């Protein structure tokens, strides 16, 4: 079996590094040219919530305006790209529950992401979020309600009371909230297709799922982003959902944002391998079990309060390779050539694409991708990473020497010269990259990326140069 005739959605995670609108349109154009059918858009605090929900909008940079959200849809529609909003409704509610006025809606005080399922105020809040999103998406037919990684569920006082009654479990508590929400959505928008993440249901029996009344209300999206995805287990899960009556199933893969929470540059082969495994899953499903499509996720953060993952420009070769893998069913030299030809690059691995003076055309943000790779390589070079292990620093400028201000000026000035040279080179690259980043992202994203990747490297070098100057001043007349 082949999932390529089904929908292929590119996940656009806007809870970190939201692109400027002009760049967003260029990305949508590229996604269309690469063969994507839709966008799974996770707005979070970039959505222009109004009235009592206005506090949910981002404060570090401007949220998209209603006009910008509508223009994005119009542009996507002109490229035959469907937009499916993803609105978290249970877990990963950090961007909502971080606000002091909404702390009382948390399941437990110390978990910022999980909604208390017992408070009607919480359901009303979620429904109002959905109303505003649906209103700003005219003609919307499909919603993704999240519901993954509902941490600490069952640990709140009200949940403990609920669970104390016979035949009640955390599984049933989860299902009751999602069922209540799904019914409310269907009552308001009877035509609406509802998708949700599957992970909270993976350990549930078929009987539990059937008894939940969730069957017929939602379509599970089973996510797995690993290059060694277990085909047998994944097929078993999908067939369990199908047997329970959830016959419309989705897959979710990854083209970035799933290697490590702080990864800066993605590995294309890792993400291609994930898609090859998904193709094996699709081919192994029993007759009659099919996938509606696949969402190719591109996480920008692991959650609202974590650091930035890879920026979109450096991940575009990976995305193009993953889509090509889905189209062809493999990723041989022919597929790789198709990707490099389309994007105008020399390799599918962004670290090896090389410099080019060509116009971006099929690769919006290429210059930033090149600069990111160059700067990341420099920041992780042995000369910089292990600078404080240099023989001269450990031998003639140890913490003891610094404290006592007892140094050999001749040697320490050589160290100072080397550190200053590295700092100058770094600063030049940082300035160039900052200028390029500002064209595609807001200042807040630029600042965050620099503080995450650059400042931790440059700060120790600056400290060494300052300490050397102070020590030498004590030793030289």
Single out the catalytic residue among 50, 82, 128, 149. 149
Range 299-337 burial, b when 16+ CB lie within 10 A, else e: bbbbbbeeebbbbbbbbbbbbbbbbbbbeeeebeeebbe
For residue 254, what are the β-bridge partners?
297
User: Residue 149 catalytic?
Assistant: yes
As given in the structure block, the two tokens for residue 410 are: 């001749």
As given in the structure block, the two tokens for residue 118 are: 């017992």
The tokens 């979070």 sit on which residue? 44
456-462, Cβ contacts within 8 angstroms, sequence gap of 24 or more: 457/379, 457/384, 457/385, 457/426, 458/423, 458/426, 458/427, 460/387, 460/388, 461/384, 461/387, 461/419, 461/422, 461/423, 461/426, 462/423
Q: Which of 315, 275, 428 is nearest to 16 (CA)?
A: 315
DSSP one-letter string for 146-194: -----TTTT-SHHHHHHHTSTT--HHHHHHHHHHHHHHHHHHH-TT-EE
Dihedral through CA 369, CA 375, CA 381, CA 383, nearest 10? 160
Which residues belong to the active site? 149
């Amino acid at each position: 079996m082949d999932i390529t005739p089904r929908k292929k959605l590119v996940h656009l995670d806007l809870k970190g590094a939201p692109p400027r609108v002009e760049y967003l349109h260029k990305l949508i154009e590229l996604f269309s040219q690469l063969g994507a059918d839709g966008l799974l858009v996770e707005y979070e605090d970039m959505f222009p919530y109004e009235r009592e929900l206005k506090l949910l909008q981002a404060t570090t940079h401007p949220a998209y305006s209603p006009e910008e959200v509508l223009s994005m849809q119009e542009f996507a529609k002109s490229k035959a790209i469907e937009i499916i909003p993803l609105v978290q409704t249970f877990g990963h509610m950090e961007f909502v529950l971080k606000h002091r006025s909404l702390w009382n809606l948390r399941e437990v005080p110390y978990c910022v992401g999980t909604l208390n399922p017992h408070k009607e105020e919480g359901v009303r809040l979620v429904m109002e979020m959905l109303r505003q999103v649906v209103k700003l998406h005219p003609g919307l037919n499909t919603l993704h309600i999240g519901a993954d990684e509902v941490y600490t569920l069952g640990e709140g006082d009200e949940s403990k009371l609920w669970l104390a009654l016979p035949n009640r479990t955390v599984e049933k508590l989860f299902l009751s909230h999602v069922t209540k929400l799904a019914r409310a959505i269907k009552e308001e928008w009877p035509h609406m297709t509802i998708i949700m993440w599957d992970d909270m249901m993976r350990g549930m029996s078929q009987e539990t799922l059937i008894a939940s009344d969730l069957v017929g209300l939602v379509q599970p999206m089973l996510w797995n982003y690993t290059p060694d995805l277990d085909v047998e287990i994944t097929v078993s899960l999908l067939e369990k959902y199908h047997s329970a009556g959830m016959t419309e199933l989705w897959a979710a893969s990854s083209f970035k944002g799933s290697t490590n929470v702080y990864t800066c540059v993605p590995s294309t082969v890792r993400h291609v391998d994930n898609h090859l495994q998904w193709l094996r899953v699709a081919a192994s499903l029993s007759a009659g079990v099919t996938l509606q499509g696949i969402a190719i996720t591109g996480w920008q953060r692991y959650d609202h309060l974590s650091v930035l993952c890879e920026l979109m420009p450096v991940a575009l070769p990976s995305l193009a390779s993953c889509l090509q893998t889905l189209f062809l069913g493999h990723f041989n030299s022919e597929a790789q050539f198709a990707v490099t030809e389309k994007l105008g690059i020399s390799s599918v691995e962004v670290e090896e694409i090389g410099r080019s003076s060509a116009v971006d055309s099929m690769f919006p943000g290429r210059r930033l991708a090149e600069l990111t790779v160059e700067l990341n390589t420099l920041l992780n070079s042995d000369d910089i990473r292990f600078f404080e292990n240099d023989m001269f620093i450990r031998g003639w400028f140890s913490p003891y020497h610094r404290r006592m201000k007892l140094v050999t000026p001749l040697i320490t000035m050589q160290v100072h010269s080397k550190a200053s040279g590295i700092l100058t080179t770094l600063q030049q690259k940082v300035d160039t990259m900052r200028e390029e980043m500002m064209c595609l992202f807001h200042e807040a994203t630029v600042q965050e990326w620099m503080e995450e990747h650059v400042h931790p490297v440059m700060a120790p070098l600056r400290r060494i140069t300052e300490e050397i100057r102070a020590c030498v001043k004590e030793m030289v007349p």
